[in-house]
Chains A and B, each alone.
Chain A
Amino acid sequence: MRKLLVIGVLVGVFACLSAPAVAAPLRVQVVAEPARVETVLGGRFVITTEVRNTGAAATGDILAHLNVASIEGTVYVDPEDWSPSRSQQLSLKPGESRKLSWELQAVNSGHFAAYVVIVPFGSTVAGNEELLISPLVDVAVASRSTLTAQGALPIVLSVPLLLGLAAAGVYFGARRRGSKR
């Protein structure tokens, strides 16, 4: 009976140790604006998100992370190209809110979603925490022909042609002068 009791206690202790720690869920609200951005390829724009702690406890360290995804067609998106600085670390007291600005440049044309994810940050992160996501910002990027073969052709042909003619003229002129002497 005593052995059974010890085994039971040990099993209970191990069960407690091996169970994943359940962190208190983040009570944070994220609002993004504007809801829609229309721009042209290469255009720069700013998205603002407001993160508010709606819980009764401080959030601890949290990370707001911007992401961009294509929501139409098969455009490959590298979010790093859109914004070189996509993470901002913050910590909010109960009721506190913070506005975060995200500077972006449209490097692909098409239809995209930009959104901010709130992620717990630091060594206390245990896994399985829920993520909080802002409403998406609809980004429409119109294409524009920045560079075409027809546009480049006059320069591509004329510069070597002119320099080649000048080099040939000078070279043969120098040889003719040399042979006369």
Chain B
Amino acid sequence: MTLQVAPPAVGTRQDVQAGEGQPGWLVVAQQECRDLWTSGRGLILLFLFSVLLSAVTYLTSTNQALNFLEQRESVNLVLQFAVAVGVLATLVVGADGISGERERGTLETLLVTPVARRSIIVGKLIAALTLWFATFGVSIPYLWVLGREVGILGPALVLGFGVGTLLAVGLGSIGLLISAACNSNKTSIAASIFLLLILFAPTQLPSGLPQGWFFEVLLRANPVASGLAYISALLVEGHAWTQDLSYLITPLLTAIIAGSALIFAGPQLVRLTRGVNAG
């Protein structure tokens, strides 16, 4: 990332009314978003995601054997896809945030700008979150097609946005923390994807499996599985909003703990170390 900001006044300690009186985190977020969206990377991801959702929606709409409840399940499926892809994208962009700059040799340039390190971290997290918001935006027309006549479009949108944002903030922060701890971008991204696979694995277990207390503990300790379980309980099983609120404790705690760790430990984590490609 090449940050374009006004040179600091002599003796000015960082932060920053960089640029045109904007806070530093906003300048970083804008520049990161520009890099992400004007390079075409973000749009290509959204295009591939929309192809996937189109295939699922078309197959669902041509299947006349689906009963009313299975149609609700297809809304749930599309919403889970949206959350999974959005969170994955946020995590991967977060995982590239610091280690990528280190590896490309641009972190030094970034650190000499008059932007506080905490603002750099926050700006990068916000830019990563735009991928989640865009992914969710793309899924809205599909959710409308599938859910408008089964009466769950409104709840699906509110639930998806709320739970997905919690997960994206939590896992995006974890991605940035991993990135700050790694010198190699490959290591950072591989570790993040591996973490996401571990978190998503329980959601793929057949529902008919015997589920004892240990499974319940694992489910509730896993922010992704418990967040998706909350969505399913409301959309498919028709539970009340308040009935399974305890499922949201882990996603909420993950967002708070990882977000706080990032903001408070950020200035110590964003430091120059030797990247693997750096001479």
**Pairing of A with B:** yes
Task: Report A's interface with B, CB cutoff 8 A.
Answer: 41-42, 81, 84, 105-108, 144, 146-149, 151-153, 155-157, 159-160, 163-164, 166-168, 170-171, 173-174
Q: Which of B69, B145, B151, B238 lies in contact with A152, CB distance below 8 A? A: B145
**Interface hit among B55-63, B100-108, B115-123, B168-176:** B55-63
Do the beta carbons of B145 and A164 come within 8 Å of each other?
no
Do the beta carbons of A149 and B149 come within 8 Å of each other?
no
Do the beta carbons of A152 and B38 come within 8 Å of each other?
no
Q: A107 to B50, alpha carbons, bound, how many Å?
A: 29
Q: A163 to B138, alpha carbons, bound, how many Å?
A: 9
Interface residues on B, range: 20 to 34
Do the beta carbons of A170 and B150 come within 8 Å of each other?
no
A108 CB → nearest B CB, Å = 5
B102 CB → nearest A CB, Å = 23
Using CB atoms, name the residue of chain A closest to B58. Answer: A156
Q: A166 to B61, alpha carbons, bound, how many Å?
A: 27
Do the beta carbons of A146 and B50 come within 8 Å of each other?
no
Q: A107 to B151, alpha carbons, bound, how many Å?
A: 13
Q: A164 to B9, alpha carbons, bound, how many Å?
A: 45
Which chain A residues lie closer than 8 Å to B43 at the CB level?
Answer: 163, 166-167, 170-171
Do the beta carbons of B60 and A147 come within 8 Å of each other?
yes
Do the beta carbons of A84 and B237 come within 8 Å of each other?
yes
Q: Is B241 on the interface with A (CB-CB < 8 A)?
A: no
Q: Which of B46, B138, B144, B149 lies in contact with A146, CB distance below 8 A? A: B149
A159 CB → nearest B CB, Å = 5
Do the beta carbons of B47 and A163 come within 8 Å of each other?
yes
Known A-B contacts A105-B68, A174-B40; the reply to A159 vs B142 at CB < 8 A is yes
Which chain B residues lie closer than 8 Å to A167 at the CB level?
Answer: 40, 43-44, 46-47
Do the beta carbons of B145 and A42 come within 8 Å of each other?
no
Q: A147 to B57, alpha carbons, bound, how many Å?
A: 10
13 new A-B contacts at CB < 8 Å, known A146-B68, A170-B43: A107-B68, A108-B67, A108-B68, A146-B149, A147-B66, A149-B61, A151-B61, A156-B61, A160-B54, A163-B138, A167-B44, A167-B47, A170-B38
Do the beta carbons of A81 and B61 come within 8 Å of each other?
no
Do the beta carbons of A106 and B68 come within 8 Å of each other?
yes
Q: Which of A144, A159, A163, A164 is the most central at the interface, judged by chain B CB atoms within 10 Å of its CB? A: A159
Known A-B contacts A152-B61, A174-B39; the reply to A147 vs B149 at CB < 8 A is yes
B240 CB → nearest A CB, Å = 12
Interface residues of B in 63-82 (CB under 8 A from A): 66-69, 71
B155 CB → nearest A CB, Å = 15
B261 CB → nearest A CB, Å = 34
Which chain B residues lie closer than 8 Å to A106 at the CB level?
Answer: 68
Q: Is B92 on the interface with A (CB-CB < 8 A)?
A: no
* 6 pairs of A and B residues whose beta carbons are closest in the complex: A171-B40, A167-B43, A152-B61, A107-B68, A146-B149, A163-B47
Q: Is B141 on the interface with A (CB-CB < 8 A)?
A: yes
Known A-B contacts A105-B68, A146-B149, A174-B39; the reply to A163 vs B61 at CB < 8 A is no
